[in-house]
Amino acid sequence: MLRVFKNGKRSLKSLGTSTKPEYWDFKKNEPKPNAPNKDYINQLILNAKSQYQKLVIQKKVNDEEFTANSLLNEEKNEIRPQTVEEFYQYLIYDLRNKGNVGNSYAYLNSYNSLKNFNNGKKLIYTFGSIDTSFLQKYENWLHSKNLKETTISFLFRTLRATYNKAIENKATKKGKNPFETFKVGKFSTKTTKRALSKNDVLRLKNYDTSKTSQIRELAHDIFVFSYLSGGISFVDVANLTAENIVENRLVYKRQKTGGNINLKLSDEAIKIIHKYNDYQQNGLYLFPILHIDRHKTPMQKSNRVHKICHQVNQELREIGKELKITCDVTTYVARHSFATVLKKSGVNIGIIQEALGHNDLSTTQIYLDSFENTQIDAAMANLL
Tens digit of pLDDT for each residue in 99-117? 788 888 899 999 999 999 9
Give the integer Cα–Cα distance in Å for 84 and 123.
Answer: 6
Question: What is the band of 311 on the pLDDT scale with cuts at 50, 70, 90?
Answer: very high
pLDDT at 168 over 80: yes
Q: Do the beta carbons of residue 167 and residue 180 sit within 8 Å?
A: no
Distance CA 251, CA 247 (A): 10
- pLDDT band at residue 329 under the 50/70/90 scheme: very high
Domain locations in the chain as residue ranges: 2-74, 84-186, 198-380
With 0-12 / 13-18 / 19 or more C-beta atoms within 10 angstroms meaning exposed / middle / buried, residue 307 is: exposed
Alpha carbon of residue 299 to chain centroid: 12
pLDDT, position 350: 65
Report percent pLDDT > 70 for the chain: 88
Q: Which of 29-38, 186-195, 268-277 has the lowest average pLDDT?
A: 186-195
Rounded distance, CA 127 to CA 86, Å?
A: 11
pLDDT higher for 52 or 257? 52
Fold for 198-380, please state it.
hpI Integrase; Chain A (1.10.443)
- Through-space distance between the first and last CA atoms of the chain, rounded to whole angstroms: 60
- Going by C-alpha positions, the residue among 313, 315, 361 that lies closest to residue 336 is 361
Backbone dihedral angles phi then psi of residue 274, each to the nearest 5 degrees? -65, -25
DSSP 265: P
Confidence (pTM): 0.62
Percent of the chain with pLDDT over 90: 42
Task: Using alpha carbons, select from 117, 110, 119 the residue that is nearest to residue 153.
Answer: 110
Q: Is the model more confident about 125 or about 73?
A: 125
Number of helices followed by number of strands (H, E) in the chain = 16, 7
Residues 6+ apart with CB under 8 A from 235: 102, 255, 256, 305, 309
The pLDDT value given to residue 119: 95
User: What would the pLDDT profile of 56-92 be if each residue is shown by its tens digit?
Assistant: 887 777 677 778 887 777 655 555 678 999 999 989 9
Task: Give the pLDDT mean for 186-211.
Answer: 82
- E strand or H helix at 48: helix 38-61
